[in-house]
Homo-oligomer: A and B are copies of this chain.
């Protein structure tokens, strides 16, 4: 968002223009939803014209899909850097849960895009070849941790990697995505530091407790 003299003409720079459009488009879509975001508004925010959006992306929908692709790709990129393999199973899964928590905390716009995309029944993701086949490396990682934990006897519950991923994600996602209604209804700001730190510990303890099997009816202590 390089500031420029008000009346000066925009310098020619295809890459920059494209990148800026994507950047503010992500913000606008995340803020106002797909239908709520305005093509004109996106253009105005970076001192270009709507024409450029159609020049580079073709349509509002294709722009939105491009935003999704960029956001998802970046997130997957970050996930690939997670390294907890050197830790013992219990610490590995706890750390992974807490890193996921931090990750959600740091990428609120992405969370909103996911929420919006779900309202549209993921129709745009399904239209994107890039995204349709984009799994997540975290699943393999969880799979390996679960195996190691079962082998070592630390984990008793037989769990599926996707389920565990879902359990961790749901907690982290909800805290960010639903903070506003939750705050309005219960008067608690889940994003405030005091609550955040406690909830961060909570997600780790939750997964570990679950995998240790203390919740199963067959194993009452």
A interface list, Cβ under 8 A from B:
32-36, 90, 112, 114-122, 125-126, 131-132, 134-136, 139, 157, 162-163, 166-167, 169-171, 173-175, 177-186, 188, 190, 198-199, 202, 204-210, 212-216, 220-221
Contact = CB atoms under 8 A, between A and B. Distances in A.
A184 B36 contact: no
A213 B209 CA distance: 7
Given A205-B215, A208-B215, 15 more contacts: A32-B35, A90-B220, A112-B119, A114-B178, A115-B118, A115-B177, A166-B190, A173-B174, A206-B209, A206-B210, A206-B215, A208-B214, A209-B214, A210-B215, A212-B215
Given A35-B36, A170-B171, A212 B210 contact: no
A205 B199 contact: no
A134 B190 CA distance: 18
B177 A118 contact: yes
User: How many copies make up the complex?
Assistant: 2
A40 to B, nearest CB: 15
28 contacts: A32-B35, A32-B119, A33-B34, A36-B36, A90-B220, A115-B119, A115-B177, A115-B178, A117-B180, A117-B181, A121-B180, A125-B180, A125-B185, A132-B184, A139-B186, A162-B188, A166-B199, A170-B174, A170-B178, A202-B210, A205-B216, A206-B206, A206-B209, A208-B215, A209-B210, A209-B213, A209-B214, A209-B216
Contact of A136 (B134, B184, B185, B198): B185
A129 to B, nearest CB: 12
Nearest to A157: B205
A183 B134 CA distance: 12
